[in-house]
A and B are shown apart, each in its own frame.
Chain A
Amino acid sequence: MKRYFHNLGEKLIEGLITISGTVTSITVLLIVFFLFKEGLGIFSQSPVAEGSVIAVHQNNPVKELKAEEVKEIFDQNITNWKELGGPNAPIKLFSIDDITDYYTEEQIGANFEYLPQRLNELVAKEPNILAFFPEEYLAKDFKGHQIKLANVSLGDFLLGRQWYPTIQPAVQLGVLSLILGTLWVSLGAILIALPLGLASAIYLAEIANPKVRNILKPVIELLAGIPSVVYGFFGLVVIVPLIQDLFGLPVGETALAGSIVLGIMALPTIISVSEDAMRTTPRAMKEASLALGANKWQTIYKVIIPYSISGISTAAILGIGRAIGETMAVLMVTGNASVIPHTFLEPVRTIPATIAAELGEAPQGGIHYQALFALGCILFLMTLVINLTVDFVSTKKKENR
């Protein structure tokens, strides 16, 4: 009997252990589910700013516009209906603030009680009007035609250059500048971190004596432990002003500042992963090289580095992965301007920084909120690809032995 309970207890514990083993897998699947559930919602929502109506005269042949076109119209870059497939007539822009140009205050009513009616009249009599007003003033018997905005397509989303998620009357949700900003900053980071990190890894693995090594290893561990917000703060008070003075810039918050901070943050990953890779070089290979008359340096760059090249590339990929996903430090030092970067001395905005800065203000379930989740999906996919590549490279390496 006692033995029976003992066995039962053991079965329970084993069950518990197995369940715990699946927690990470379940978490990853849940992350994918929720991220994509919210993120994909962006493709089934109209990009008209919440609670707004865009309307034209009922005889106007233009029935549907793209969000981008609406912005061009309101920026006066498109001024004729012809450009939108309509008649050759100038577009008459109207937004709710212009109502006093057409009607007196009595006609509108002290509490805007006649406003819906007036808007109705106005749209009915102006054939070339493009009116934009709040939904609450839409008359029940509205005689104009409400413009439908085309839903955001995947192409518009990924290749669009404009990120104005709260602009009236139609939000602009192009993330190309954010994707390029992220890659740009990460590329800069890896250009800084890779030479420094590789040199340190070689020094640690092959050159340094144990005493120096014992000092350097904890230092690198500590570098990995410093919170990203502290890096960001350091960047903000030291690196940003330094860059501003050095290059005579109006603002020091630039891609370069982000790259420097991220480069420092990626160092520990690069150093420890590539050092581990170099340490796996078989002793026999090194000794054979030395016995053939090669000196230590020749052995390093002709034997050890080629042998551990897959480990070194893993280190570089992991370093990029860290840089792409880093949020706080980048948010604090890159200036967050959503423009496509051309040099390292311009402000840029990355995907994680955008999510962190805007999610708090985006109403839940709205298109802006969903766009931020869609950005999260992109970020997740980027890091997934990186992780799978690393996994692939390291399994391949094992098979080759």
Chain B
Amino acid sequence: MAFGTTSSSHKSKKLAQSAAFFIFRLLSFSVVAILLVILGFILVQGISVISWEFLTEMPREGMTEGGIFPALVGTLCLVAGSMLFAFPIGILSGIYIHEYAKDSWFKRFVKLMTNNLAGVPSIVFGLFGMTLFVNQFGFGDSILAGSLTLGLLALPVVIRTTEESLKSIDDSFRIGSLALGATKWQTVSRVVLPMAFPNIITGLILSIGRVSGETAPILFTVAAYFLPKLPTSIFDQVMALPYHLYVISTSGTDIEASRAMAYGTAFVLILIVLLANLLANWLRRYFGKKVKMN
């Protein structure tokens, strides 16, 4: 009798487990399904718009015809500019936090501030970039102002990536190097950094994908509504892909007529992110290491 009850409770336990696991599996796969639907939709609708002309021509007819060339070039400028700023400072800052800073209130403060900066909404970066770079420094709406704003936005990501990569290097390498008479900087630059390099570079590539799609920070610092020419200096305004997509899908001259252009632009944006992710995954496999991105 006693044996019987155990068996039936065992059965109901098992049933509960199967049911729970089934639901979890279903929900997890629905997350994948969401991604596939979004990607599939944009890629299917966008592929027919993509052509050499679309990528290399100026927009025409109130942005309902032609291409996205100036926006593409603008985004490339902004990504290059922001990374030129964020990479060196972010990597050095990560080195400071993990290798140099003593365990003190100052280190805690720096870490707290970095975390806070990571949580600041992108539109606030836009407000800040506008007051500091556009107005205070007098850069005007320019590639310089936009790149610096985007660079600040990317900074916490770069710092965190560097920190995580440095954390994964075993302390015995540092101790060994120091024991051989190397200075702190020699240890960091010749032992630790080369080992952490693959992980750092993988994280950086992912952050490029993210910066290229940011819209809010560039709204008031660089992005032009319609500017069918290429920039000649860093003080020029440019069009940018994400802002262009926003404009033609919500406030263009003829929203219905520019739908095809919008699908094409979204396609290119997704493609940039996909390529960055694929490259990062490939590098990860190539270096045979796992990078943890937050």
Binding site for B on A (CB under 8 A): 10, 13-14, 16-18, 20-25, 27-28, 30-31, 34-35, 38, 195-197, 199-200, 202-204, 207-208, 215-216, 218-223, 225-234, 236-238, 264, 267, 271-273, 295-298, 300-301, 318, 321, 324-328, 331-332, 352, 355-356, 359-360, 364, 372-373, 376, 379-380, 383-384, 386-388, 390-391
Contacts and interface: CB of A to CB of B under 8 A. Distances in A.
A384 B31 contact: no
A219 B31 contact: yes
Nearest to A28: B113
Contacts of B262: 233
Contacts of A16: 92
A333 to B, nearest CB: 10
A321 B28 contact: no
Given A221-B293, A267-B31, A230 B92 contact: no
A219 B274 CA distance: 11
Interface stretch (B48-56, B58-66, B210-218, B226-234): B210-218
A373 B185 CA distance: 43
B132 to A, nearest CB: 6
A233 B245 contact: yes
A196 B23 CA distance: 10
B124 A359 contact: no
A164 to B, nearest CB: 21
B294 A272 contact: yes
Contact of A297 (B21, B266, B274): B21
Contacts, number: 257
29 contacts: A10-B185, A17-B92, A17-B95, A17-B96, A20-B88, A21-B100, A24-B159, A25-B113, A31-B120, A196-B27, A208-B28, A216-B31, A218-B281, A222-B39, A227-B214, A229-B246, A231-B38, A234-B42, A237-B259, A267-B31, A297-B16, A325-B121, A325-B123, A355-B127, A356-B123, A356-B216, A359-B220, A360-B220, A376-B127
B276 interface: yes
B121 A222 contact: no
A216 B32 contact: yes
Interface string B183-223: 11100000000000000000000100110111110011000
A27 B152 contact: yes
A229 B269 contact: yes
Contact of A24 (B156, B270, B281): B156
A105 B116 CA distance: 63
A391 B281 CA distance: 30
Q: Which of A21, A202, A215, A297 has the most CB of B within 10 A?
A: A21
A27 B270 CA distance: 30
A227 B28 contact: no
B246 A18 contact: no
B113 A373 contact: no
Contacts of B277: 218, 221-222, 225
A239 to B, nearest CB: 10
A16 B92 CA distance: 8
B128 interface: yes
Contacts of B109: 25
Contact of A387 (B32, B116, B215): B116
Nearest to B107: A21
A295 B18 CA distance: 11
Nearest to A376: B127
Interface in B145-175: 152, 155-156, 159
Contact of A230 (B90, B123, B135, B269): B269
Given A203-B24, A207-B24, A219-B31, A21 B216 contact: no
Nearest to A325: B121
A224 B85 CA distance: 23
A203 B220 contact: no
Given A219-B31, A237-B259, 18 more contacts: A17-B100, A21-B110, A22-B110, A30-B132, A203-B25, A216-B28, A218-B277, A221-B293, A229-B242, A229-B269, A230-B213, A272-B294, A325-B120, A328-B215, A359-B127, A386-B119, A387-B115, A390-B115
A203 B96 CA distance: 37
A130 B42 CA distance: 57
Nearest to A353: B123
Interface in B60-113: 88-90, 92-93, 95-97, 100-101, 109-110, 112-113
A328 B110 CA distance: 30
A360 B141 CA distance: 12
Contact of B127 (A21, A35, A215, A301): A35
A325 B13 CA distance: 43
Given A222-B274, A359-B220, A380-B120, A35 B128 contact: yes
Q: Which of B95, B100, B213 has the most CB of A within 10 A?
A: B213
A196 B30 contact: yes
